[in-house]
Amino acid sequence: MVAMLGAFGLFSGVVGCSFTVDANRLQCSQTSDCTNKGAAFADTVCKEGLCVGSVEDPKWSCGVPPVNSVPSYKLTMHLQDAVSSKPLAGIAAQLCRRLDVTCSEPSSAPVVSDSGGGVSLPIDAAFNGYVQLTDANAGSGATRISPSLYFLTAPTDGGDVNLPTVPLASPLAAAGIVYNATGTSWLDGRGIALLNAFDCQKQPAADISFSVGGTPDPTSFVFYLVNSLPTTDTTGTDATGYGGLANAAPGVSTITATLGSSGRKVSTISVLIRAGYISYSSVTPNSSM
Return the pLDDT at 42. 65
pTM for this structure?
0.81
Residue 256 inside a domain? The answer is yes
Return the pLDDT at 79. 98
Distance (Å, rounded) from C-alpha 24 to C-alpha 140? 48
**Residue-wise pLDDT tens for the chain (289 aa)?**
444 455 444 433 422 333 333 334 467 888 788 878 776 576 677 877 777 665 567 888 776 677 778 899 999 999 999 999 999 999 999 999 999 999 999 999 999 999 999 999 999 999 999 999 999 887 666 789 999 999 998 787 778 999 999 999 999 999 999 999 999 999 999 999 999 999 998 899 999 999 999 888 999 999 999 998 999 999 999 999 999 999 999 999 999 999 987 788 899 999 999 999 999 999 999 854 4
Please count the structural domains in the chain: 1
Residue 106 inside a domain? The answer is yes
Residue 8 inside a domain? The answer is yes
Q: What is the pLDDT of residues 248-288, one digit of tens each?
A: 999 999 999 999 877 888 999 999 999 999 999 999 998 54
Give the chain's count of helices (H) and strands (E): 3, 17
Residue 137 inside a domain? The answer is yes
Give kind and range of the element (H or E) at residue 53.
Answer: strand 50-53
Residue 288 inside a domain? The answer is no
Residue 222 inside a domain? The answer is yes
What DSSP designation does 70 have? P
Residue 289 inside a domain? The answer is no
Can you give the residue range of the structural domain that contains 132? 2-13+16-283
Q: What is the edge-to-edge ordering of all strands in the sheet holding 91-97?
A: 111-112, 91-97, 129-135, 148-151, 278-283, 191-197, 242-248, 221-226, 229-231
Residue 161 inside a domain? The answer is yes
